[in-house]
Each structure stands twice: as structure tokens, then as C-alpha cells.
Amino acid sequence: MRLEAAISDVRLIEPRTKLVRAGEELTQSTLLIEGFMSRHIDDRKGLRQLVAVHVPGDFVDLHGYPLKTLDHDVATLTSATIGIVPHQALAAIEHDAPDLARKLWFATLLDAAIHRAWLFRLGRLDAVGRVAHFLCETNARLVVAGLSDGRRFALGITQNDLAEICGLTDVHINRVVRALREEGLCFFRSSLVEIPDLTRLAARAQFDPAYLYIDEEASDALVNRGSRQ
């Protein structure tokens, strides 16, 4: 059985569209085919903290299948193409396709590993380190998805999104983006990220991609192309 066979519908969703609200009962999950999505939690003042960013290929709310409700909201950041996977189809995979079920289990474990890295980022890194770490992580994930050559990728999010990811104000993000540019570590403009020296950026971010469990081929591409000057 292939995962594609479990998709009941493919939809094009506008940017900034909320797909799942915390607490609502779920009967389907979302496979992100194209675009970027987020998971977020708002504080009592309505200020948003992004707790996950999803790239094409991610099963955004797979955990909604066993949990039945989520503790956070899910929304698109950019326009996005999504595949709808009914929970009935996931139940069939669980019972009839153990190899595929194991891959889905791996995906949720990878999700948890990324959350741990986000905790480390917010708890231990300064502002430049936080942004650098997020960009290194996104670059690595997009290399795996075939959407980065290891040093350049499209990232259709705003600096305000970046602020909500890194727990910084927009003024602080402006300063950090400028600092990264002036240090020649990274250029982020017009939805395009360029990383002239991934090794230096990763060092600044204390970034080690081991938690992403990237296969050898993609890992080679990340190192070899990423370090190219």
C-alpha cells in the first residue's frame, strides 16, 4: 500500500488559512504537498508563538489520528496544496500495512525530535543563534524535500513569521537579519534565503542535523553543496 492511495482529496488553500483549531474533533489528517504551514499557540493576549513549521512532504497533523483533537491550531503560511487523508484510511494502514505504519510512526518521532531542537533553540541560543538555527534546519529539511540545493531556497514566510518562530520582536528580527547579512552568514530577502557558508552559519547556530535523521544521500548533498563557496 502506498500513502498516496490514502489521499481522498487534494485541495489548494489560500495563505493564512486556519485548517484546524485546538480542541475540535478531527476525522482527517493533512499531508502537505506544496507550500509552508505552521502549528501555533496564542497566548492570552492573542500573541502567537509558532511551535512548528511544516515543509512539503510533512504529515502536518498525523498525530491528530490517535489524539483525535489537537492542543494547537494549524494554518497555512503560504498558499499550499494539501492532501486530505481520512482517519479511516490511516486505520486501514495501521492494520493492513505495517511497513507504512512504521514510516508514519517514524514521522511522528521525527516531529518530536524537531520539537526538542526548538526547545533548545529558544532556551539556550541568543537572537542571532535562534534565527540561524531555524534557517539551518529549514535548509536541511528542504534539501531532503528536493527544494534546496544546500545553499539557496525559497522561503515564503515574512519576518513577522520569523519573529513568532524565534520568540523575538519584529525590530529584533530586523536587527538579526541585518547582522547575518553583514557577517556574510545568510541573506534573507524577497522570500529567498541564500547561505554563502553553511559551515559558519551552522557553527553560529550550534546546529547539528543529526536530530533530523537525514539519509546518507541527502546528508552528503547538505554538506558538499552547503560548504561550496
Partner 1 sequence: MMQSDVPQPQTEPGQAVAEEGLVILDGPDGVAVTMTPDAAELTGQSLIDAAVVARAQAPDLP
In contact, 194 and 187? CB cutoff 8 Å: yes
Q: Which stretch binds partner 1 (CB under 8 A): 23-31, 95-103, 123-131, 221-229?
A: 123-131
Residues 166, 93 contacting (CB under 8 angstroms):
no
Q: CA 200, CA 211: separation in Å to the nearest integer? A: 19
Residues 172-191 that bind partner 1 (CB under 8 A): 172, 174-175
By the rule CB under 8 A, 123 interacts with partner 1: yes
Minimum gap (Å) between residue 178 Cβ and partner 1: 10
Considering only the stretches 54-62, 92-100, 119-127, 195-203, report the one whose residues sit in contact with partner 1 under the rule CB under 8 A.
119-127
Distance of alpha carbon 92 from alpha carbon 2, whole angstroms: 12
Per CB under 8 A, the list member of 48, 54, 63, 130 interacting with partner 1 is: 130
Counting residues that bind partner 1 (by CB under 8 A) gives: 16
Tell me which amino acid residue 216 is: E
What one-letter code names the amino acid at 227? Answer: S
Query: Would you give the distance in Å from CA 129 to the centre of its chain?
Result: 17
Under the criterion CB under 8 A, does residue 51 sit at the interface with partner 1?
no
Q: Per-residue contact track with partner 1, 135 to 174, x per CB under 8 A?
A: -------------------------------xxxx-xx-x
What is the number of H-type helices and E-type strands within the chain?
A: 8, 10
What is the phi/psi pair of residue 76, to 5°?
Answer: -85, 145
Residue 127 found at the interface with partner 1 (CB under 8 A): yes
Integer CA distances (angstroms), 133 to 19, 108, 139, 146, 175, in order: 27, 21, 10, 20, 16
Residue of 3, 122, 145, 223 interacting with partner 1 (CB under 8 A): 122
Q: How far is the CB of 118 from partner 1 (least distance, A)?
A: 12
Report if residue 203 touches partner 1, rule: CB under 8 A.
no
Cα distances (angstroms) measured from residue 24 to each of 13, 14, 70: 20, 21, 7
- Choice between 160 and 169, CB closer to partner 1: 169
Contact set with partner 1 (CB under 8 A): 122-128, 130, 166-169, 171-172, 174-175
